[in-house]
Chain A
Amino acid sequence: MSTLNTPETPPAASTAADKDSSGSYAQKPWWKKLPVISHVLQSSGLQRGMLVTGLIICGVVLICAVFAPLIAPYGYADLGDENGRFVPQQAPSAEHIWGTTVTGFDVFSRVIWGARTAVFVIVVAVLASVFLGVILGLLSGYIGGWLDRVLVVVADAIYAFPSLLLAIVMTIVISGGQSTVIGGVLAAGISITVVFVPQYFRVVRSETVRLKAEPFVESAQVLGDSNLRIIARHIYSNATRNIPLIFTLNSSEAILTLAALGFLGFGIEPTSAAEWGYDLNKSLSDVTSGIWWTALFPGLAIVFTVIGITLVGESMNDLNDPRLRLRKKSRRGRKSKESKNV
């Protein structure tokens, strides 16, 4: 009887299974549990630096995208203002702080507007591929059998195909028509989607296969839950925990693919939207003729954005992986350790 009465509060930290990140979630307001916020709160030192830098960069890009009309002095397709046509290939000046292009576009304005296109494409591409990839992955992983085998082989085949080339072919197929903004962005977005779906598919599927054997899913099976319900209620939320991470990784991939498409001439036309890769392509001959500003800024914009997203993704990756996560050192600890190592 005595043992029953001993309170069952776990000791300082209970079993190993309790210890991992989830343990610290208890009693926190809900918003602190959101993916990115919880990561920031967990992080420390270099990792926090990386994460925060990344978030700031992403924020800047987002602000540029949303407020492009306010930030950019001119439209993305403006060749002049009330004072007449811009002089093409003008070096940076007060009027055009980053100069003008061969066509006579204002480089600064186009770089700012380019953020909008980039964000737009990321949203389209990543959302579409998350949606498709998750559904297919769940079904394939859970149902298994020939459906699974076929989907896996197809996904692997697509995955094995150099993604850029697939994106090119898809762009041609999709944008066969006209070059409106929506058309152009959708074409780029969808073609990137096709490339990404296999990735989400793979991750979600393998998670699903793993989860399918987890006791909590089996316990639902033992109860006689319908398959749909098991997928929706038990597997879905658990299988998608890696998604934010892949999301960031794919976002940077999406930007690079979009830029590469633009660079190869399959992008969006300048009068429809501003796109960094396209601008870079157009400025190829400028660079070797001493006109550095037309290439440098769009190029840096790509690098800047990708770095931002990658920093967020990388640090989230580290934070998700207990082996890679850094812990804050206690003041006390650091001091006493130093003294000991003398």
Chain B
Amino acid sequence: MTASVEIPDLASGPAGPEKKKTAKSRGSGLGRYLLIRFLLIIPTVWILTTLVFFLMRITGDPITASLGGRLTKEQLAQRVSEAGYDRPLLIQYFEYMGNLLRGDFGTTVSDNRPVTQVLAQYGTATLELVLFSLVVAFLVGIPLGMIAAKYRDRTPDAVLRIFGILAYATPVFFIGLLLKLVFGVLWPVLPVSGRASGSTEVLLDGVVAPTRLYLIDALRIGDFAAVSDVLSHAVLPAIALGLITGGTFLRLVRTNLIGTLGAQYIESGRSRGVSEFRLTTRHAFRPALIPIITVMGMQIALMLAGAVLTETTFEWKGLGFQLFQYLQARDFVAVQGIVVMLAVIVAVTNFIVDIIVAFIDPRVRY
């Protein structure tokens, strides 16, 4: 999906025409730019919340979802009314938004837990999964993309491109299934579900002031059996989710690197005898990184979606998985809360990407 966006982006890449800026406007410019980018998070989150609020209300209520097969129409109606779900939608909406503004995400309807607690517990799990996957994606995408760009249109490139397309074309759940088949059944060397084995989980839950990122917690208590347990559980999900993103990264790095490799400053470097290796890894890579990172930021949103599938396949009890459960239970309080959280994550990620881009691209920085 993002691939489609990267195309127009390429045109305005670093090689694009430069705008004249006066020295004075630079300093305050970045600050204001970032401030505005930051403030834009608010409408984004607000729109999504509103959207999801009304959509979820159309889909039904949690009480019917859980008791629709047991109670009479009248009993159901009574319970729904007791819960206040038959009041005018707008009133409920303003009430919810009001609470949200006060930082009150509410309590889930289906299992009566504070949404904040749900977010804290599952958010970290998803974060850990996404981090592991990003490691895979970076390890796969960046070096291979550089190689493909370097050996453009020759055998290594052809092989890598096909690999990239394959990685993109294989749905997470299908890769997951194949991985499970291979490593869980045919050659059962890796655990295929969960974030850790039971005893490790118990152990890690007992850690004081846990980060809830298992790997970090396990490292902190210095228990290497636990560390390896956590890592072994992470391998398959991280590969499944990471490969797909890695495939996208590969294509992204390749295209942009080819783009910058054709820029005049590369030719300029070449004309002064700078080696091809250095041209690829230093001169061309950093400018190529700007569009790459921008798209990578958008990939985060995709990864969160991919996480739903990965988490479901590998029993990784994270936010995506949980969101799916709550969706089925029509637990709108929970769904709304999680969506707000996801929206904030995505918006903040993109904000961070802007900062990183500003860091890499001096034209934005100064």
Contact = CB atoms under 8 A, between A and B. Distances in A.
B362 interface: no
A287 B169 contact: no
Interface residues of A, number: 63
B327 A302 contact: no
Given A242-B7, A264-B309, A162 B304 contact: yes
A176 B58 contact: yes
Most chain B C-beta atoms within 10 Å of own C-beta, residue among A160, A284, A295 = A160
A172 B327 contact: yes
B59 A303 contact: no
A203 B161 CA distance: 25
B350 A199 contact: no
A310 interface: yes
Given A169-B59, A264-B312, A161 B342 contact: yes
Given A173-B58, A323-B258, A161 B346 contact: yes
A277 B258 CA distance: 36
Contact of A162 (B3, B44, B308): B308
B56 interface: yes
B327 A256 contact: no
B8 interface: yes
A326 B258 CA distance: 12
B55 interface: yes
B100 interface: no
Contacts of B71: none
Contacts of A299: 170-171, 174, 177-178
Contacts of B7: 203, 242, 245-246, 317, 320-321
A288 interface: yes
B184 A249 contact: no
A90 interface: no
Interface in B273-323: 298, 301-302, 304-306, 308-309, 312, 320, 323
A161 B339 contact: yes
A153 B44 contact: yes
A307 B167 CA distance: 10
Contacts of A320: 7
Interface string A194-228: 00000100110011000000000000000000000
Contacts of A199: 1, 4-5
B77 interface: no
A157 interface: yes
A280 interface: yes
Contacts of B40: 153, 156
A306 B324 contact: no
Nearest to B350: A160
A15 B251 CA distance: 32
Given A162-B305, A260-B173, A323-B259, A287 B180 contact: yes
Contacts of A288: 180-181, 184-185
A161 B48 contact: yes
Contacts of A287: 177, 180-181, 185
B255 A203 contact: no
B267 interface: no
Contacts of A47: 153
B173 A157 contact: no
A163 B305 contact: yes
24 contacts: A47-B153, A158-B47, A160-B44, A160-B347, A161-B339, A161-B343, A161-B346, A162-B302, A162-B305, A163-B301, A163-B305, A165-B339, A176-B58, A176-B60, A203-B4, A207-B8, A249-B1, A260-B172, A281-B173, A299-B174, A302-B170, A310-B169, A321-B255, A324-B258
Given A154-B47, A176-B59, A246-B4, 17 more contacts: A45-B153, A46-B153, A157-B48, A162-B304, A168-B327, A173-B59, A203-B7, A250-B1, A264-B309, A280-B174, A299-B171, A303-B166, A303-B169, A306-B168, A307-B169, A310-B168, A321-B259
Interface of A: 45-47, 50, 153-154, 156-165, 168-170, 172-173, 176, 199, 202-203, 206-207, 242, 245-246, 249-250, 252-253, 256, 259-260, 263-264, 277, 280-281, 284, 287-288, 290, 292, 295, 299, 302-303, 306-307, 310-311, 313-314, 317, 320-321, 323-324, 326
